[in-house]
Structure 1
Amino acid sequence: MKYGMVVITAGFSGLLSFSFLAVAIGSDYWYIIDVNRANLSDLEDLSSHSGLWRIREGKNATSWPIQSFFVDTSNKTEIEKHLINSHKVIVILLPLSLLLVVLGGICGLVSSLARNPSLLAGSASYFLFCSLFTLSGLGVYVSYCQQARELLEPDILASIHVSYGWSLGMACLSFSLEVTAGLLLMLAARMAHLMGHDHGVIIIAMA
């Protein structure tokens, strides 16, 4: 495999990772609640889908913002306070990860053009580090949804179907592509090191 192909593939992986995560953060299909229409047709309009910032409910997709930073928690239970804090962590970690991917892309471009093994290894490590932010955000989100579901009464749970949407899938793909970009840059660093070593051997032989 050639050096150029490796760094180009790493670049596309990083670009797709950014695109997928940006779409996921801005979309409203992280969590979907469908009311059982067979038994509760009168509650059909209560079906909803939600994102990180808002909930859309009913046929008309009425939007309700999800507030967590400016909520008075003095009259909330400990579980509710924990859920609010978890949401704060989610909406900080994932946008931060998006910003870090942009910076990582710049570092990766510079290091790949310079063909410097140390810079490439540093960029690779940076991408892998960024992926931890994305993974942490996804982990907290899944835990957040599970805890919120546990607050519902059993009879309510029996009348609805809950599932994760394509937005979460896009975020998971973004995480995978971040890791892929990091590993490819690590491979490029190794290839650049070997090319530099071979070049040095040729110079010594000619001398």
Structure 2
Amino acid sequence: MKYGPVVLSAGLTGLLSFTFLALAIGTDYWYIIDVNKSNHTGPKDLSSHSGLWRIIEGSNRSSIISSFTANMSSLSETERQILGLHKVVVIVLPLSLILLVLGWIFGLVSSLACSPKLLAALASYFLLCGLFTLSGVSIYIKYSNQAMEEFQWIVSPENLVFVHVSFGWSLHLAWLSYSLEVATGLLLLLAARITQIKGYYNSGVAIAML
């Protein structure tokens, strides 16, 4: 394989991973609660969807998820654990986004330098970014499951029959970003290997000409 197409592919997957993660963090379709309207007689739409920062209830009501400003003394131990998980998520995923920006900048320098060591180090860096993203998404799933378990204690089993919960496309974008981060790391490892082999080949040619 040629060095140029591999590096360009790594740059493209790195850029896409940043784009998808930025969209995931900025949108509000991580978790969706859909209430069967045909079985609901009240005036309000009880369906909602939420992101990392806010919850959208009905058609136009929204509320901020205030995990950092909540009064912890008035909450139960379970509620504290849920807010603690949310705090971790909103720290880890934006941090992963920042690391991707830095990685893309370092990647441009490494690709121009054609250094196997720099490319291998950058590959490890992107794999580390993927680990951050994977950790953030996994913790969010745990946070959502615990929040749903708490919700089930509040709502009667009869009403739960009409409630359908699911993860939304924002979460799927985060998963896709993770996959692309791993792909970027593997492509950079391949680029490092190609550069290393090319260096050995050039050295062998130079020795043979002496």
TM-score by length of 2: 0.95
Q: Is residue 145 of structure 2 the alignment partner of residue 146 of structure 1?
A: yes
Residue matched to 1:77: 76
Tell me the distance in 2 between the aligned counterparts of 1:3 and 1:89.
39
Q: Is residue 16 of structure 2 the alignment partner of residue 16 of structure 1?
A: yes
Q: Spell out the pairing of 1:70-109 with structure 2 (5 A cutoff).
A: 70-109=69-108
Q: SS at 2:82's partner residue? A: helix
Q: SS at 1:34's partner residue? A: strand
Cα 1:41–1:200, aligned 2, differ >3 Å: closer, same or farther?
Answer: farther
Aligned pair partner of 1:198 in 184, 198, 201: 201
Tell me the distance in 2 between the aligned counterparts of 1:157 and 1:17.
37
Residues 35 and 44 in structure 1, CA contact (< 8 A), matched pair in contact too:
no
Which deviations, in whole Å up to 9, do the C-alpha atoms of 1:6-31 show, x marking residues without a partner?
00000000000000000000000001
Tell me the distance in 1 between the aligned counterparts of 2:159 and 2:165.
11
Q: SS at 2:75's partner residue? A: coil
Q: Which amino acid aligns with 1:134?
A: T
Using the aligned pairs only, state the percent identity: 58
Runs of 4 or more, structure 1, over 4 Å off, are: none
Q: SS at 1:74's partner residue? A: helix
1:172 is displaced (CA, Å) by 0.4
Cα 1:119–1:48, aligned 2, differ >3 Å: closer, same or farther?
Answer: same
Q: SS at 1:52's partner residue? A: coil
Tell me, which stretches of 5 or more residues in structure 2 are unaligned?
Answer: none
Q: SS at 1:101's partner residue? A: helix
Which deviations, in whole Å up to 9, do the C-alpha atoms of 1:79-130 show, x marking residues without a partner?
0000010000000000000000111111111111111000000000000011
Residues 123 and 184 in structure 2, CA contact (< 8 A), matched pair in contact too:
yes
Q: Which amino acid aligns with 2:202?
A: H
Q: SS at 2:32's partner residue? A: strand
Q: Is residue 178 of structure 2 the alignment partner of residue 175 of structure 1?
A: yes
The Cα RMSD (Å) is 1.1
Residue matched to 2:58: 58
TM-score by length of 1: 0.97
